[in-house]
Chains A and B, each alone.
Chain A
Amino acid sequence: MNFDDTPQEAEFRATARAWIGANAPKQYEDELRKSSLGRTVLKNANILEVAKAWQKKKADAGWACLHWPKEYGGRGSSPIERVIWQQEEGPFGQLSRMFIIGHGMCGPTMMAFAREEHKRTYLPPLASGEKVWCQLFSEPAGGSDVAGLRTRAEKDGDDWIINGQKIWTSGAHYSDFGILLTRTDPTVPKHKGLTMFFLDMKSPGVEVRPIKQASGASDFNEVYFTNVRIPDHQRLGEVGDGWNVSLTTLMNERSAIGAAVSTGFPELFEYCSSLMLDDGPAIEDRAVRSKLANWAVKASGLKYTSMRAISALSKGERPGPENSIGKLVAGSMIQDVATYALDLQGASGVVSGEDAELAGRFQAMLLRAPGTRVEGGTDEIMRNIIAERVLGLPGDIRVDKDMPFNKIPTKGRG
């Protein structure tokens, strides 16, 4: 048992470290390092531009999308090399956030289902950050129930005509392309009548409306489709096979192993180490210590669970779904940590933004944290995944599974 790199891993790490040391945009390092959930902002620069420039630089030197094949703009690296890169990239990795959906989900789906000429055309600029992609799955009527979607695609000659609405689309407001899941046959059970496409987000009839979140920020959007035309050659997979295509996408959604999970704990520990309460230093208060210790072991438990997964990768094994506990644990923890930090601030905790303690670090965390428990699968879906795939318990009962989609009731309370 050890934490050492193999000789090949050590060599890869050294090469990556040297390149990052020589090329990363160091002027932003401090701000990126001090950012926490809900608070990645650069004071004197446009983060999208900085991110694109860093991604382009990486792509030009062969450090973009490490796990992708070289011919599509990647590096053909092993999973463990990807993890090492993430560790070495450190705070600069936060700049890749706006590419996560494209690199992690859209790209792999294109690789699995697009025509070869499309792959060669669209994947390299996606890898290099020149083009940003989004994933158009969720709809107002179906959050976790993705297959309940209603956006229609109807054949018209060699084209398809799209009408409907998507929601919670991360980054649609700065995306150039998207992959789109539609319903092509409402007369068959819901999983059977779906078809996947990719499209240019600048197509006529596509309207993107940013959603203002509880935090005040706008990371997500509603996207409306009014008679949008998509040529048939932009279809991904067979007509009616969209559910299987989307599973490829969703399988890739599981956050990359080795990426640091935000728990809010390091921030809270640092805060309590210097905070003075009415009766003395917070870190010497019995109640505070107990809270900190309980969160400390969750944070370290997640860290070492991730180390175990990395070790499996290092041996060439594939880590299982048991690694999906990161988001589940961190999601509610960061909410609780932020709540507690504000409680320690007493009445003044109510002040947010630049006027607040630590420039509103915990207030921003509090307002962004609820999203973590919902995006990419709610806590409840995560628990179902663990219960069903790890523990082998029966799946939830789905009363609409075999019913034609257009016969499924759409409203509760009759």
Chain B
Amino acid sequence: MNFDFSDDQKQLRDQARKFLAEKCSPKAVRVVLDGKAPYDKELWKGLAEMGFLGVAIPEEFGGAGAGHLELCVIAEEMGRANAPVPFSSTVYLAGEALLIAGSDAQKKKWLPAIASGEAIGTLALFEGKGNPSPKNIKLTAANGVLNGVKKPVADGAIADFAVVAARTGSSGRDSDIALFLVDLKAAGVEVKSLTNLDPTRGQAEISFKDCKAEPLGAAGEGWSTLSQMLDRAAVLCAFEQVGGSDRALEMGRDYALDRIAFGRQIGSFQAVKHMLADMYVSATLARSNSYYGAWALSTNAAELPEAAAAARISATQAFQHCAKNNIQVHGGMGFTWEFDCHMYYRRANAMALGLGSLTYWEDQLIDRMRKKNAA
């Protein structure tokens, strides 16, 4: 059994970690956090040059053609560094949508642009409150023309194009949903930035008014493609969350060793030690669930839907748990703007919602487990 990343993949992880430590310091993250830039353009360029943006994109479309395990490794490091770039929107969502359902022409147009960092993409799915569900999609598509409003759209204000989920019929079936590719500079598109929990990754409201769009994938298969996209993104985001959990745990551990109170390192108090031990446990369970997700993703296994839901839940819980208790270990300092704890706390809680809430993924997991048991 070799349920682990290979030496080459671990080397890639080290390379990514080193690169991000240099180019994506907390100080750099704060430039975006403080609203001085919508995202870190320098870093984005650097990620493209390192080949990280196109790591799972086939060589014929301008990528490195490595694979999804390599992408998981990089995702973990993006989460660890709290990178203020539209990596998940562009690579996990828009990029994967093209890989799953794009025509050859669409792939040729967008995938090399993603790999080179020229194009930022996103998914426009949500329309206000509610979780991913065909019934929550009201934006209409008729004769290739879209009308409706999407919000929140992650990185919507900086994206060049979006994969838009639209309603093409009213039968009440999943086949009413279709996906479209929209150039966000096209006529009829209006974008408005929204304030949000995690300013290092922007959110927007996008209105489409008689906006022309080209179909992505076959009519009637929109929901099934979306479902696959969300599963894949769940695994990749889980790795970001695992990276973030580890970093939050590390920050808490380091502070507990540094800070003296009552004449002792606070890390020598059992209450603090045990809190950190519990953070370690949740991060480890999340990592193990995510590895299983990575295996399923990279082999396109039938287990992917179940593995993705488990990784999603576990990693979401771990990141929230570690980010929240990292602040607790730091005490009052942890609650200040000046310390970095809140950046991970913000990211953890924003990421918990981005692909649909825990409630949604709990439902997905149980349905998928039932299906497996029935089979």
Q: How far is the CA of A148 from the CA of B6 in the complex (A)?
A: 46
B289 x A300 contact (CB < 8 A)? yes
The residue on B at minimum CB distance from A306 is B288
Residues of A within 8 A of B5 (CB): 1
Please judge, given known A-B contacts A322-B284, A325-B281, A391-B280, whether A293 and B366 are in contact too, CB under 8 Å.
yes
B277 x A302 contact (CB < 8 A)? no
Min CB–CB distance A62 → chain B (angstroms): 24
Residues of A within 8 A of B265 (CB): 393-394
A387 x B366 contact (CB < 8 A)? no
Q: Does B285 touch A at the CB level, under 8 Å?
A: yes
Q: Does B241 touch A at the CB level, under 8 Å?
A: no
The 8 Å CB contact of B3, one of A310, A387, A390, A393, is A310
Residues of B within 8 A of A386 (CB): 277, 280-281
Q: How far is the CA of A224 from the CA of B25 in the complex (A)?
A: 63
The 8 Å CB contact of A305, one of B253, B285, B313, B362, is B285
Looking at chain B's contact residues, is the secondary structure mostly helix, strand, loop, or mixed? helix
Residues of B within 8 A of A9 (CB): 1
Contacting residues of chain A (296-333) with chain B, CB-CB under 8 angstroms: 296-298, 300-305, 307-308, 310-312, 314-315, 322, 325, 328-329
Min CB–CB distance A359 → chain B (angstroms): 22
The 8 Å CB contact of B285, one of A5, A283, A298, A384, is A298
B288 x A304 contact (CB < 8 A)? yes
Min CB–CB distance A390 → chain B (angstroms): 6
Q: Does B270 touch A at the CB level, under 8 Å?
A: yes
Residues of B within 8 A of A290 (CB): 359, 362
Q: Does B314 touch A at the CB level, under 8 Å?
A: yes
Task: Produce 1/0 per residue, B285-316, CB < 8 A to A.
Answer: 11011011011001000000000011001100
Residues of B within 8 A of A322 (CB): 280, 284
The residue on A at minimum CB distance from B256 is A393
Q: Does A392 touch B at the CB level, under 8 Å?
A: yes
B288 x A2 contact (CB < 8 A)? no
Q: Does B276 touch A at the CB level, under 8 Å?
A: yes
B310 x A300 contact (CB < 8 A)? yes
Q: How far is the CA of A4 from the CA of B230 in the complex (A)?
A: 28
The 8 Å CB contact of A296, one of B69, B268, B277, B310, is B310
B289 x A297 contact (CB < 8 A)? yes
Q: How far is the CA of A323 from the CA of B257 in the complex (A)?
A: 23
Q: Does A355 touch B at the CB level, under 8 Å?
A: no
Please judge, given known A-B contacts A305-B284, A387-B276, whether A297 and B253 are in contact too, CB under 8 Å.
no
The 8 Å CB contact of A307, one of B1, B270, B272, B281, is B1
B278 x A383 contact (CB < 8 A)? yes
Q: How far is the CA of A294 from the CA of B285 in the complex (A)?
A: 12
Task: Produce 1/0 per residue, B1-18, CB < 8 A to A.
Answer: 111111000000000000
B373 x A2 contact (CB < 8 A)? no
Residues of A within 8 A of B291 (CB): 1, 304, 307-308
Q: How far is the CA of A2 from the CA of B310 in the complex (A)?
A: 18
A289 x B277 contact (CB < 8 A)? no
Residues of A within 8 A of B69 (CB): 1
Q: Does A269 touch B at the CB level, under 8 Å?
A: yes
A307 x B257 contact (CB < 8 A)? no
B2 x A315 contact (CB < 8 A)? yes
The 8 Å CB contact of A2, one of B2, B249, B366, is B2
The 8 Å CB contact of B1, one of A292, A296, A314, A394, is A314
Residues of A within 8 A of B4 (CB): 1, 308, 311-312, 315
Q: Does B363 touch A at the CB level, under 8 Å?
A: yes
Q: Does B209 touch A at the CB level, under 8 Å?
A: no
Q: Does B36 touch A at the CB level, under 8 Å?
A: no
The residue on B at minimum CB distance from A290 is B362
B314 x A301 contact (CB < 8 A)? yes
A391 x B276 contact (CB < 8 A)? yes
Min CB–CB distance B357 → chain A (angstroms): 11
Q: Does B273 touch A at the CB level, under 8 Å?
A: yes
Min CB–CB distance A388 → chain B (angstroms): 8
Q: How far is the CA of A89 from the CA of B2 in the complex (A)?
A: 21
The 8 Å CB contact of B253, one of A296, A300, A391, is A391
Please judge, given known A-B contacts A1-B291, A304-B288, whether A396 and B2 are in contact too, CB under 8 Å.
no
Q: Which of A301, A303, A386, A390: most chain B Cβ within 10 A?
A: A301
Please judge, given known A-B contacts A301-B289, A305-B285, A307-B3, whether A391 and B277 are in contact too, CB under 8 Å.
yes
The 8 Å CB contact of B365, one of A297, A308, A328, A394, is A297
Residues of A within 8 A of B277 (CB): 382-384, 386-387, 391
Residues of A within 8 A of B27 (CB): none
Q: How far is the CA of A314 from the CA of B4 in the complex (A)?
A: 11
B285 x A392 contact (CB < 8 A)? no
Q: Does A213 touch B at the CB level, under 8 Å?
A: no
Q: How far is the CA of A293 from the CA of B284 in the complex (A)?
A: 18
Min CB–CB distance A300 → chain B (angstroms): 5
Q: Does B112 touch A at the CB level, under 8 Å?
A: no
Residues of B within 8 A of A392 (CB): 253, 257
The 8 Å CB contact of B274, one of A315, A387, A397, is A387
Task: Produce 1/0 per residue, B358-371, CB < 8 A to A.
Answer: 01011101100110
Q: How far is the CA of A322 from the CA of B253 in the complex (A)?
A: 16
Q: How far is the CA of A151 from the CA of B322 in the complex (A)?
A: 44
B285 x A293 contact (CB < 8 A)? no
Q: How far is the CA of A68 from the CA of B288 in the complex (A)?
A: 30
Q: Does B267 touch A at the CB level, under 8 Å?
A: yes
Contacting residues of chain A (348-398) with chain B, CB-CB under 8 angstroms: 380, 382-384, 386-388, 390-397
Min CB–CB distance A20 → chain B (angstroms): 19
Q: Which of A307, A384, A392: most chain B Cβ within 10 A?
A: A307
17 contacts between A and B (CB under 8 A): A4-B1, A273-B373, A294-B313, A294-B362, A296-B366, A297-B310, A297-B314, A300-B292, A314-B1, A315-B4, A322-B284, A328-B281, A386-B281, A387-B267, A387-B280, A393-B276, A396-B270
Nearest first, the 10 closest Cβ-Cβ pairs linking A and B are A301-B285, A293-B362, A304-B288, A387-B273, A394-B268, A383-B277, A386-B277, A297-B314, A305-B288, A393-B267
Known: A297-B314, A396-B270. 18 other contacts (CB 8 A): A4-B2, A9-B1, A296-B366, A296-B369, A297-B310, A300-B288, A300-B289, A301-B288, A304-B288, A305-B285, A308-B3, A308-B4, A315-B2, A325-B281, A384-B277, A387-B280, A393-B272, A394-B265
